[in-house]
Each structure stands twice: as C-alpha cells, then as structure tokens.
C-alpha cells in the first residue's frame, strides 16, 4: 500500500476499495500544487495495483468536497505557459483507469466541480452545491469544465453555470443529471463505499473495460462506438475471469476473480 507524501492527501484501502480524501478542510479542500503532485503519484500506483479495483474520492469535513485550486498559489507560476503545463489534479483523476465514485460532501466549485465530473459516478450530500465560479475572477475553467457540463446537463444549463458563475444546490444537480443520487450528510461516504464495494465484486477487467467503453461512447459516432464495444466485449470474453463468471453462474455461487 502506497503512502501519501503529504497529510493533505489521505489514502485508505479496504476490500479492494481505495478511498482518497482531500484533507484540507480549513481551506475547503482547495488544492495546492503539492496536493496535485501527490494525487498524480497515488493515481499512478492505483492504476497498476491489483489490490485496487474501485476508488472513492471525497473531501474532509462537512463544508467542502473541493473548492478548486488554491487561488493564493496561482501567482507563483512564472508565466501562464508554466501554469498551463503544471501537473493537474483534474488530469490525474481523469487518468484513473478503474471506476471512480465521487462522494460530494459540500462545495464542489471550480476545479472541485471538474474533479467530481472526472469521476464516473457522483453521489452528493443534501448539503452539496456546485459552481463554475471562474468567470467571477476573470477566467474560465481549464480542467474540462465546458465539455463535462455540456455532456452532463445540456448546453443551456451549462451556459447558465459557466456564464453566471453562480452555484446550484444538490436537488437541482440531481434534476439536471449532474449527480446520480442524494443522501443525508452522515450517510454519504457509506453509500458511496457501498456502490464501490459492489463494483469491486465484479470481474475487474470487465469493470475497467466498461469505463473505457463509456468514454468511447461519448466521443465516437454511433456505428463506430458499437463496433468498438463489440471488440471490447470479445476481449473480455477471452479472459479467465469471464470463464469463471460463466462457471460461477452455472454452479450458482459467487465468482472468484483474479484480473486475468
């Protein structure tokens, strides 16, 4: 089990579920470059670790999932180009090959919203809120904000969030399709972990392939996407895990999967 180099990123592994916690609650879990670097390292390990099958991403405390980048740290970059090419936490989360569930326990603003949208499944506390506030400071998001919002909630709703910078609450996020479910605050992490454990019980190659296929479905024309899906299905069908799945079904028992 890898250990984070800094206290602001906490890692906990149990029964194939890795929980990553942004641990800077006094600053609304806003992300520093050091935190980004630690996330990149954690993701690189998790992608290759057989003991990790799903990931839950959340923020410490009750106020915030993540309020985006620490604004006070942005002036340290010598040029805008240096800022453009920094190791980015949204890129790190988007680079995870395994299923990721965001447990959104408060503010998901700016880069925090982009981070949540970089996850595959989003579960929100009833106290959560969501915003793309960069326009209020003179810029726009750069971690996929426009692309993710347009795909998640439609062009008009995305424009409303991007051009006003004002937040929406959890109920509206659910109505618009930005999140899948709302829970009471105290039940959030348990609910996200429950979903993660269910996914972790599935054959891991198939789960990772499903994630890759979903991404392809968004970006490919229909006929090409269906062909790609069939190719991925064939690859999965050839695995030992698929053989075990069929055998377990016939024998009416849970499957035992080894990512082979």
Mean pLDDT of 69-98: 76
Which residue shows structure tokens 């592994």?
13
Give me the half-sphere count of Cα atoms (radius 13 Å) on the Cβ side of residue 55: 30
Angle between helices 240-251 and 204-219 (to 10 degrees): 110
| Structure confidence at residue 143 as a pLDDT band (50, 70, 90) | confident
Q: Strand pairing partners for 104?
A: 124
Residues of the chain within CATH 3.90.226.10 domain(s) are: 9-200
3 state SS of 19 = strand
Mean pLDDT of 197-206: 95
Q: Token pair for residue 71?
A: 């604004």
| Structure confidence at residue 77 as a pLDDT band (50, 70, 90) | low
Q: Strand pairing partners for 121?
A: 101
Over the chain, what is the mean pLDDT?
92
Q: Which residues contact 55 (CB under 8 A, 6 or more apart)?
A: 17, 18, 19, 20, 46, 96, 98, 99, 100, 101, 196
pLDDT of residue 82: 65
Q: Distance from CA of residue 131 to its chain's centroid? A: 17
Which tens digit of pLDDT belongs to each residue from 15-67? 999 999 999 999 999 999 899 999 999 999 999 999 999 999 999 999 999 99
Residues of the chain within CATH 1.10.12 domain(s) are: 204-251
**Which positions are annotated as active-site residues?**
114, 134
Is the pLDDT confidence value at 225 over 80? yes
pLDDT of residue 155: 96
Highest-confidence range of 192-196, 240-244, 254-258, by mean pLDDT?
A: 192-196
This prediction's pTM: 0.92
204-251: what fold?
Lyase 2-enoyl-coa Hydratase; Chain  A, domain 2 (1.10.12)
Is the pLDDT confidence value at 109 over 80? yes
9-200: what fold?
2-enoyl-CoA Hydratase; Chain A, domain 1 (3.90.226)
Give me the half-sphere count of Cα atoms (radius 13 Å) on the Cβ side of residue 246: 7
pLDDT of residue 212: 94
3 state SS of 55 = strand
What percentage of the chain exceeds 90 in pLDDT? Answer: 81
């Amino acid at each position: 089990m890898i250990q984070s180099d800094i206290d602001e990123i906490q890692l906990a592994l149990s029964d194939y579920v890795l929980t990553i916690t942004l641990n800077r609650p006094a600053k609304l879990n806003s992300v520093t470059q050091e935190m980004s670097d630690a996330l990149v390292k954690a993701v690189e390990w998790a992608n290759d670790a057989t003991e990790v099958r799903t990931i839950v991403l959340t923020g410490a405390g009750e106020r915030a999932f993540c309020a985006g980048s620490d604004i006070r740290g942005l002036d340290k970059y010598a040029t805008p180009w240096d800022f453009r090419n920094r190791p980015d936490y949204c890129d790190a989360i988007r680079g995870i090959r395994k299923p990721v569930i965001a447990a959104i326990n408060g503010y998901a603003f700016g880069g925090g919203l982009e981070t949540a949208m970089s996850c595959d499944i989003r579960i929100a506390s009833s106290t959560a809120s969501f915003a793309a506030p960069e326009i209020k400071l003179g810029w726009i998001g750069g971690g996929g904000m426009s692309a993710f919002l347009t795909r998640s909630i439609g062009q008009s709703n995305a424009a409303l969030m991007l051009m006003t910078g004002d937040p929406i609450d959890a109920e509206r996020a659910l109505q618009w399709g930005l999140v899948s479910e709302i829970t009471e605050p105290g039940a959030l992490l348990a609910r996200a972990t429950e979903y993660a454990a269910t996914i972790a019980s599935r054959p891991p190659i198939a789960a990772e392939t499903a994630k890759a296929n979903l991404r392809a479905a968004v970006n490919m024309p229909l006929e090409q996407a269906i062909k790609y899906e069939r190719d991925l299905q064939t690859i999965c069908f050839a695995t030992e895990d698929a053989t075990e799945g069929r055998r377990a079904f016939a024998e009416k028992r849970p499957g035992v999967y080894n990512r082979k």
